[in-house]
Structures are given as structure tokens and as C-alpha cells.
Structure 1
Amino acid sequence: MGISGLLPIVAPKLVKKHISSYKRQRVGVDGHAWLYQILPCVAEEMFFKVPTKRHVDLFEEKVKLLESYGIIPVIVLDGDLLSSKEETNRKRRIRKEKSRKEAEYWLMRNDPAKAKGFMRQCIAVTREVVSDIARMLERINVEYIISPYESDAQLCFLQRIGYIDCILTEDSDLIPYGSSKVLYKFDSAFVREFNRECLSEVKGKDFEENILDISILSGCDYLASIQGVGVVTAHRLLSREKTVERVVEYLKYRKPVPSSYLEDFSRAKKTFLHQIVYDPIQKRRRHLQDAGEKLDFLGTLKEEEYVVESALPELFFKPSSRAKAIKRHFIPLARREGSEELEARRDKRERHSQRVDMHTHSPYFK
């Protein structure tokens, strides 16, 4: 998850702050980041398909901790699978299936300790898990959004339009997405705050300006890296060669580079720039930035229900299930904004939409 090697580079410039510093602020929380921290605690139950709500209780504790400091949490969860991430998801499924078989093997060998380790490696955030969390958030009156697709793009958009003030996550993808303030390493008391300007402080202005191209070249969820090319190498080559096209041409004579790499790079960049998100003010789907062209691989702008299938007891020895749609956006009644604040957010959104995104500067993609 994220850009390998990016957070260690910016780590010296992250500012340690107590979570109470964000009192009265709307903090967008990467719900899936929390779930991947929590689900290992119920790995055995998930492996053996034993009903449990312990993960829901642990998630609720985290939410209430933020609220105890006067923070207004907005929980954002992943939605449908993105075709741009198909290869990454395929590899993850293979790894998890391998871990599942390893767990079964060690159970047969009567070694539960080793089996538990592999059980933790094959956990997955299913739609049923998301449904459990959504129902709990409605019960405790906390806002949530189930993204059309990826939560990192959704969080970036919410911050861009002023719907949230900052983002709480462990995902470094928020940096190339262009997020201005991100909170990392939350330990129930302190966070490490990332601000956009720290990119130029650690590696120079060109590092900040080219962070999206550098991140894709170094390898991301939408495109595997060229062998031996990480963040540092990508930055060095791009600084010298000036364009992605020239960097790839240089690497072709030194590394195995797929013939479709530039085309795949373009698709990955468009995924970062134009991913489909939900606009909670206009209550419709839209692109993170207007694409100016039809990009079918990014999914659909049409609203789609988030359907969860729950298993039912077997009837006449046949497995059965029940489909149920859950809300993609829950707004707590007690916290609905007045018309003046809503209008102010709308105005801010319009000002943001008029800006030219800094990532579109790359000569290769002009």
C-alpha cells in the first residue's frame, strides 16, 4: 500500500503533534488503514468463519478516542475495485491464498502459533466487514463515505474542496495525490504531520513539482516499478533527463523495460489525476480533476449501490445468501451543516476547481 520508500524520505520533516491539536477540525480518516490494523486481532475468527464483532468494537474505540479530543471524524472507506489496480489486486490474492494454504498446513502439523502468523497474512476487508463498520457508524452518529473506488483519491478530493481539514492515514499515496496536510503514525496520542512544503525541503523544489511522476516511476499500485528504480533513482533520473519519455529511453538500454511501459505510465498517471470520487456537496460522482476525455478504465460516473451479500443458513443442503444495499454516504442528523456553511464550502470548491493541478506540468503529458 502506497509508494515504497517515500515516507522514510520525508520522515525527518514530519512534525510530531498531539492529536488534541486538531480539536474542532474535521479529520478525514482512512477507514481501510484502520481496518488493516484491527483485523489481525480477529484473524482466527475470519479464517474459521466464526461470527465476531470485536473488530467493530475496536474501530468504535478509535472513533470515540478522536471524538474525546473534540475532533469531528469523517470516515472514508474503499468502494468498488478499480481496473487500474487489477494486477496489484491479483498479486495480493495470490499471496493471500498462499498464506491460507500455509495456515492450513501448520494446523495439520499441530503448530497453531505458526498457523496464526499466516492467518494474519490472509485477512481481507470484505464488503460484510465494511457493512459492519457502516452500521456501527450510523448507530453512533458519525459521518462516513464509501468511495466510488479508492479512499485515498476520495480523501484528497474532500480536502481539496474544504470538506475536511486534514487526513489521517498510513498510506503514502496521499502525497502524490496532492494532499496538503496528512497525519501519519497515529498511536492514540500523537501523530506525525506532513505538510506539502516539506517535499521541497527534503529534496528540492523539483522533487515537489515532480512527485507524481517520481512516485509512478518508483512503483505504485497502478504500475510496477522498473527493476532497480526507487524514489531516489527516479528523482535523480527525472532531474537529469527532464521528461518521463527520456528517462524510459535511457533505462531501456540498461534495464528490462516492458514495451508498453509509457502507455501504462500514462494510464497510471490519469488514474491519479482523474479518478472518480463522490462530491458530498453536489451529491454526485465526478472526476478528481476534469479529464477532458472518456476514460473507461476509471469506472462509471453513474451512482451505484453498495451491495453486500450475507450468508444465510443452508436450506435443503444448498448454500444461500441475501443481498442488501447500504448507504454510501451517511450524514449525522445532528451535524448537518447550515445553508451558510454549505454555501461557503461550495464557493471554496469552485475556487479549487479553477486551479491548474501542479502534476500536469510534465512535458511528456502535455
Structure 2
Amino acid sequence: MGITGLLPFLEKASKRCHVAEFRGCTVAIDTYCWLHKGAFGCAEKLIRGEDTNGYVHYCLKYIKMLKSYDIHPILVFDGQHLPAKKHTEEKRREQRKLSRKKAAELLRLGRVDEARVQMKCAIDITHKMALALIKECRENGVDCIVAPYEADAQLAYLNIKKFVHFIITEDSDLLLFGCNKIFYKMDIQGFGMLVEAEKINNCMKLRPDNYNFDKFRYMCILSGCDYLQNLPGVGIKKALKFISLTADPSIYNVLLKLPSYLKLPNVVVTDDYREGFMIADATFKHQLVFDPVKRKLLPLHDPQISGTREEYCRNAGHLIDETLAFEMALGNVDPFTHEPYDDWSPDLVPLPTTSIWSKQYNKPTLPVKKTPKLNAPSTKNMQVDIKVIEEEKFVYDLKLEKELEMYKVIEQAPKKQKTEEDSEALSEVVSQEINVPFRRLKKFSKFERTVVNYEDVLTSRFFTPKKPASIEEPSISNYDTLLSGINSYSNKTVCSESLKDENYGKDEESHYKLEVYARKPI
């Protein structure tokens, strides 16, 4: 069933990729996901009890695709049901029976399409179907292992103990068991979504010193999982908020504060819920798995090292005889009835050291990606390359210089002195707005020159030419006198007596400059 909304929540810890990135690696596969999809294509035959191996061919297509990328697959199958999921499995069994009855009724009514939908819901993957795929895999040199209980814990054990580098599944619950890398929703082309456990902290937005994997597992259990239903109104976002606010390492004590932390006064955290929470947590951590090298059952994590109380592990599975557990792991015995179906033994057939059932088994190592060595070019080739580069650079410089010509400032020849006729002609041109760059302006400045300060004078080119250069600017002493005259300026007239300039009034240019400085704002 998985955790509702977990995969979208893990967006920052996941990425879209292709299995080619794992070339040379070993992968463990949640095979019942493939068997269910393969069984949908031959649902009618399975419901009617007819012989078919369509689901086997469906799984072999994926195996062939993985092997084409030099990936070594290990198929993991579900074993018997856990006591924690007893009620869940009973509901699923009843639902399959009901779907079978609906399919039969729809067929009698001639509604074939609706009947096929119900047939798919009524399919139950049996151990005989799994054994048919196991036999095909043995012939193709592919390892298979049947978990003592759920395949999720067995997959996690293979990943944690470095039997495999990553896992392929459709069940989001698998992250809670402590897997490192999980490849979700892989299609037949090899594309899928990779989730890495080391990046989960980015999704929870917790400081590195405040994050540990236990908090992530607590959050998922609070939001609802296969082993415990969630409290009313508590989803993955509320669960994350509660975990972020807690600092007490004892989750059993902190659960009592959940209604106040989340402002849910109508929610009551009972003692039964707290006990169920601790049992669910222990089931994820200490579920029984099978070690193919040691060939015996053991917990995923040792409860004594974790400090987990024994009564919390009652739903994590029960130990059985080692010989029976070994035969179940090989697929020779039905996990539920313990009825023998096959007698295959890995000790009687030659197996490579890469097989988990080989006594000389060597754990796989990560493939080293070697960078190809480049041969040193000869001197002749180097000279040719340098010559080509120089030619390309020369062409590029010419092109660049041509493009920059439009930005170069062209030095114009000094303008010749204009006469009165030129001034009249220029005035006529301006009045007619011909060849004037500011044609859209309704009127121009009234002044030919504007004094910004004593040293800077702005000159307009739309007025009469400059006066002869022999006429000098006012001296500094006259400038001070000029300012005093400007201060006494009124009614747009200037008092000639204040300037003490004998040329004032006699020279037209002096009179002009006085008017210019008089217009300067003080």
C-alpha cells in the first residue's frame, strides 16, 4: 500500500534518470510488482484456471533489458504474511473474492470490458506462479530469493549489507526500512525515479544536527502505514510539523503532546495508539530476513543493540527451523503451507562467485569508471592545428573590426566661419524643419549659449556662428563684479555702472556676455 503522498514529498531527494547510470552494478528487485503487472495481461486465463506463462515473459523482458546494461539482477519474492498485516490481508482476500463474483456476473450480462477490470482486481499471485519465474531465472543465471515474510525487509537487508547497490520497486514503504538508493516506477525502456536516502534531510528541512533517520520513520508512521493507521487529520505535512517541533528523543512520551503541538483538540492519543506506534516502529527495524551467505534467519537490525523492548517485536516474525528457512528462501517450499514444490540445491550445480548462493561468493564492488587515455598528438599535427587557429583568429579579428567601425568617432574638418547669409539660410532651414534631427520638437532653445559655470559653456549649433576668437572671456575680477551686478539685476536690465567695464555698451560681444551671465540662476 505504501505511504500516501510520500513520493511527491521526496521530490528534492529524487531525480529522473536511466538504469544505464548503474552499469556494472547489482540490483535487487521487488518481483511481485512485476508479477502483478504481468498478470494483468493474462487475467482472463488466470481467473478461468487456464495454463499461461504470460506473466513470466513479462518479467523476463525487464530482466533482459537490465542485463543489456551489464546490470546483475537479484529477484526477491514475498514470503508469508506478517501478523501485523493479518487484518489487511483478510480484507484484500475478501475484496478479491468479491471482484471475482462481480466479474462472473458481468460476463453473464455481456459487459466484457467491465468484467475484465474486475478480473484484474481478483488476481492473486500464488507461490506456484512465482516458482515458474524462479525456474526460468535459474536457467538464465539470475539469482532469486524468497523472503521469510515481506520482500521489503529482505530488499533492505541486501542493500544495507552491500549485496546490491540499489533496489527497484513500486512500494514507497521500502524507504522506512533504511534502504540507500531506490529506483521507482521503472518502465521497459529503463527510465525511472531514483530516491537517495542521504538527501531526505533536504525534504524535511531540518538542520543536520537535528536530523536522523528515526525522525523520518516516525513521520511516515504518523502519516499512516501498513502497520498502523494515522490519527484523524494527521497527514504527512502535519506529521512533519510535529516531528520538527519535538526535541525529546522518546517518541513514546512525545506522542501525548501531538494534539497541543498541532492544535487538534479533538484528537485523542490513547495508550493503545502509542503501543501500536512502538510495535510498528519495531516491525520496520527488526523484521526477520534471510542471509544467503550465513544461510539463516536473523533480524534486519539487532533489537538488543537498538534497545528495543522484546514485546514490541512480536509482529516482526518468528524464528523457524534453519533447514526449512533455507528451503523456503530457495523457493522449494510454499511459504504458507510448507508444502514442497521443488528440490533445487545451489550446492549441486556450478555457480559463479557473483551468485549469492555460491559458497565462494564475493560481494560486488562499485564499478570504477575509467577515463579513456588520449594519445598525445604528433608535432606535425600540432603545427597544422596552430596554423588553422591563427587563420581563424585573423578572420575573426577582421570581422570584429568591421563591426566596430560604426562605433568609431569620425573627426570632422573644422567648420569655416559662417557669414550673415549662411545664418539667414540656416534660420530658414530650421524654420522649415528640413534635415533637422530634432524635427519633432515644436521649438528650440531661446539661447545660443548656456553657461553652466565659469569654465563650462554649452553652445547650440542652431544659431549664428561664434564671434571671433579674439574676444576674451571676462576676467576673474570682472566676474566677481559681474556677480554683484547680477544680484542687483531687475526687470531684465543690467546696470552698466556696476560693471566698470569701459567696453561695455561699445562692444556687441560684451553686451551679449552680460546678458548670458544675467540669465544664469544664482
Deviation at 1:103, TM superposition (A): 1.3
Q: 2:216 aligns with which of 207, 211, 215?
A: 211
Q: Higher strand fraction: Structure 1 or Structure 2?
A: 1
After TM superposition, the structure 1 stretch with the greater mean CA deviation from structure 2, 86-95 or 266-275, is: 86-95
CA contact (8 A) 1:199 1:207 kept: no
After TM superposition, the structure 1 stretch with the greater mean CA deviation from structure 2, 196-205 or 175-184, is: 196-205
Deviation at 1:108, TM superposition (A): 2.2
| Pairing of 1:226-265 with structure 2 (within 5 A) | 226-242=231-247, 243-251=251-259, 253-255=265-267, 260-265=272-277
2:201 is matched with: 200
1:278 aligns to 2:286 (yes or no): no
1:223 aligns to 2:239 (yes or no): no
Deviation per CA, 1:56-96, whole angstroms, max 9, x where unpaired? 11111111111111100011111111111112212222222
2:53 is matched with: 53
After TM superposition, the structure 1 stretch with the greater mean CA deviation from structure 2, 58-67 or 290-299, is: 290-299
SS in 2 for 1:260: helix
Deviation at 1:344, TM superposition (A): 6.5
- Alpha carbons of structure 1 residues 19 and 333: separation in structure 2 relative to 1, 3 Å: farther
2:20 is matched with: 20
Q: 1:336 aligns with which of 339, 353, 360?
A: 353
Question: Structure 2 length as normaliser, TM-score?
Answer: 0.59
C-alpha distance in 2 between matches for 1:214 and 1:328: 43
1:324 is matched with: 340
Deviation per CA, 1:87-142, whole angstroms, max 9, x where unpaired? 22122222222222221221122101101011111212111111111111112121
CA contact (8 A) 2:34 2:58 kept: no
1:356 is matched with: none
C-alpha distance in 2 between matches for 1:121 and 1:258: 36
1:355 is matched with: none
- Alpha carbons of structure 1 residues 326 and 207: separation in structure 2 relative to 1, 3 Å: farther
Deviation per CA, 1:273-298, whole angstroms, max 9, x where unpaired? 10000112211110001123474433
Deviation at 1:327, TM superposition (A): 6.8
C-alpha distance in 2 between matches for 1:340 and 1:158: 17
The residue type paired with residue 59 of structure 2 is F
1:191 aligns to 2:207 (yes or no): no
Deviation at 1:191, TM superposition (A): 2.1
1:291 aligns to 2:297 (yes or no): no
- Alpha carbons of structure 1 residues 109 and 266: separation in structure 2 relative to 1, 3 Å: same
- Alpha carbons of structure 1 residues 94 and 229: separation in structure 2 relative to 1, 3 Å: farther
Deviation per CA, 1:224-261, whole angstroms, max 9, x where unpaired? 22222221111112222444543355448423656511
The residue type paired with residue 297 of structure 2 is R
**Which residues of structure 2 form unaligned runs of 5+?**
305-309, 365-522
CA contact (8 A) 2:163 2:363 kept: no
Deviation at 1:323, TM superposition (A): 4.4
SS in 1 for 2:43: helix
C-alpha distance in 1 between matches for 2:37 and 2:256: 37
C-alpha distance in 2 between matches for 1:102 and 1:257: 40
Deviation per CA, 1:121-173, whole angstroms, max 9, x where unpaired? 12121111111111111121210110111111111111111111111111111
C-alpha distance in 2 between matches for 1:279 and 1:341: 15
SS in 1 for 2:234: coil
C-alpha distance in 2 between matches for 1:8 and 1:48: 39
CA contact (8 A) 2:56 2:133 kept: yes
| Pairing of 1:294-313 with structure 2 (within 5 A) | 295-302=313-320, 303=322, 304=324, 305-306=327-328, 307-308=333-334
C-alpha distance in 1 between matches for 2:266 and 2:346: 52
The residue type paired with residue 281 of structure 1 is V
How large is the RMSD of aligned CA atoms in angstroms?
2.8
CA contact (8 A) 2:100 2:119 kept: yes
SS in 1 for 2:74: strand
Deviation at 1:36, TM superposition (A): 2.0
CA contact (8 A) 2:10 2:200 kept: yes
CA contact (8 A) 1:63 1:73 kept: yes
SS in 1 for 2:123: coil
After TM superposition, the structure 1 stretch with the greater mean CA deviation from structure 2, 30-39 or 72-81, is: 30-39
Question: Structure 1 length as normaliser, TM-score?
Answer: 0.83
SS in 1 for 2:177: coil
CA contact (8 A) 1:167 1:183 kept: yes
Deviation at 1:336, TM superposition (A): 2.3
**Which residues of structure 1 form unaligned runs of 5+?**
310-320, 346-366
